[in-house]
Chain A
């Protein structure tokens, strides 16, 4: 696999292809690099993080190429940050289950949010692993080329622990 571009986003800021491009937080990055997508504010934090990372990485990719791309993401927390928030809406003494939160209690929703924004009709997959160091991430991304032919894959680590601990380490790879 060849890597076309790489981005890293943490609370310290965003690094694109090795260069620090912003020190803003996730919403700040949205305002800096997108700004025209009110649905962003309805997303949970994991989706917001994935959204801004994809926004920056896919900026110069043609619609044609994006149509057949794949999105294959990994993390440790799955959607736990939002799971906890949803759990708070179903307490016995205050039981008002929120559909807008519940829909985000699935980690793969972020792959859908990115697909919708960029009109990506290819594979969208989410896997849960222990840590970003695992060789499984490369193996699984490479595996996608064995049974399908995406134009490229948006892949990597996308984890949201809490407002002070999050990390996107995504890249675009070709076969």
Chain B
């Protein structure tokens, strides 16, 4: 799980162009949207693409994203249960 979380943080930083940020700057349970890291609606869409490209997970309903994308820990948890690759 720890490896997955670190890998995921790096993928998020790269995919979302979070320049000036490193994996160490993101707490596993910190809110990704709103006051925490401050991601927005386009980032959420890009996270959907990331899940599909890197882990073969297709979100059938984008509304599911709201729960899944709460924090890096919640995404990692979802990936570990649903990954296809």
A interface list, Cβ under 8 A from B? 38, 40-42, 96-100, 103
Contact = CB atoms under 8 A, between A and B. Distances in A.
Question: Interface SS of chain A: helix, strand, loop or mixed?
Answer: helix
A98 B17 CA distance: 13
Interface stretch (B28-36, B38-46, B67-75): B38-46
B49 to A, nearest CB: 5
A63 B49 CA distance: 38
Interface of B: 15-20, 38, 42-43, 45-46, 49, 52-53
Given A99-B42, A100-B42, A100-B43, A42 B49 contact: no
Question: Interface SS of chain B: helix, strand, loop or mixed?
Answer: helix
B42 A41 contact: no
A96 B47 CA distance: 12
B17 A41 contact: yes
Given A42-B16, A42-B42, 4 more contacts: A41-B17, A41-B18, A96-B49, A98-B49
A42 B42 CA distance: 10
